[in-house]
Amino acid sequence: MAMPGFYVSPEQAIQDKADYARKGIARGRALVAMRFDAGLVLVAENKSSTLRKISEIYDRIAFGAVGRYNEFEQLRIAGVRHADQKGFVYSREDVDARSLANQYAQIVGQVFTHELKPMEVELLVVEVGHTPDRDRLFHILYDGTVADEKSVAAVGGDAEAIRSRLADAYEDDLDLGAALRLGASALAGPERTLTCDDLEAAVLDREGRRRAFRRLSDEEVSEMLGE
């Protein structure tokens, strides 16, 4: 005799977890990353100015995340620890986004398969190369799926629509202002307008200091949006 109420098929269990994670992620706001003429820019819809979705991992690597804050914050710190430790034990140039993205995929995938509750997060790990062809944009889903993107990437609730808006209007060699405006309009969609209070943005500069990560201030964002 079957045991109704006890047996759940693996297909169903995975499906339920995926739905659960997707719902959690869809509740929050999205984040995009793209190449511009002097590096990579990340733009997130985020009303908080203290709880960040975008942050620095290492010299040329940034992290962007959407979903449940406490979960991606834990992943962010683990990434900083991994990168700093690797750079200290080996060399700074041995720290790369690909290995970091794989580690994240392992952890998120492990939790998805083995724990009762999956992580409600989607991550972007991006690295600015010394030349544009060495740029890396990795996208990690709640179930540990990794994908690499060429010039634009989006994560979050409405990521597919946002990504297609972004890809449709994207051109090579946008300047920072144009890239930021494109990011903001792709995040907003046709019916909304986002202002600098709704946005968090940072860049990885291709040239210049060792630590390429730089947050854009409210004033800079506001000026570039033409507010």
Partner 1 sequence: MGMPFFRPGDDPGPSFVDLLDRTGHTPLTVDPAGHVDAGHATTVLAIRFADGVVMAGDRRATSGHLISHRAIEKVFPADRHSGVAIAGAAGPAVQMVRLFQVQLEHYEKVEGQTLSLEGKGNQLAQLIRGNLPAAMQGLAVIPLFAGYDTHRGAGRLFQFDITGGRYEERDHAATGSGSLHASTVVKLGFTRDMDAEAAIVLALRALWHAADEDSATGGPDPIRGIYPVVATITAEGFQKLPDSEVAGHFAGIEAELRDQEA
**Interface residues toward partner 1, by CB under 8 A:** 52, 55-57, 74, 77-82, 84-89, 103-104, 106-107, 211
Beta strands in the chain, from DSSP E residues, in sequence order: 31-36, 39-45, 54-58, 61-67, 121-127, 136-140, 146-149, 152-155, 199-205, 213-215
How far apart, in whole angstroms, are the C-alpha atoms of residue 98 and residue 104? 10
Instruction: State in angstroms the smallest separation of the CB of 109 from partner 1.
Output: 13
CB of 59 within 8 A of CB of 212?
A: yes
Cβ proximity to partner 1: between 2 and 210 the closer is 210
With respect to partner 1, which residue has the nearer C-beta, 103 or 222? 103
Q: Smallest gap, in angstroms, from Cβ of residue 87 to partner 1? A: 7
Give the residue with the Cβ less far from partner 1, 107 or 178. 107
Minimum CB separation of residue 21 from partner 1 in Å reads: 19
CB of 84 to partner 1, least distance (A): 5
Question: Nearer to partner 1 by C-beta: 91 or 131?
Answer: 91
CB-neighbour burial class of residue 193 (10 A; exposed 0-12, middle 13-18, buried 19+)? exposed
d(CA 44, CA 49): 11
Q: How far is the CB of 104 from partner 1 (least distance, A)?
A: 8
- Tell me if 107 sits within 8 A of 100, measured CB to CB: no
Q: Between residues 50 and 131, which has the closer beta carbon with respect to partner 1?
A: 50
Residue 20: CB minimum distance to partner 1, A? 22
125: amino acid identity, one letter: V
Q: Alpha carbon of 199 to those of 31, 112, 188, 217, 218: distances in Å?
A: 10, 30, 10, 10, 9
Distance CA 106, CA 141 (A): 11
Half-sphere exposure of 63 (CA within 13 A, CB side): 24
Nearer to partner 1, 9 or 48 (CB): 48
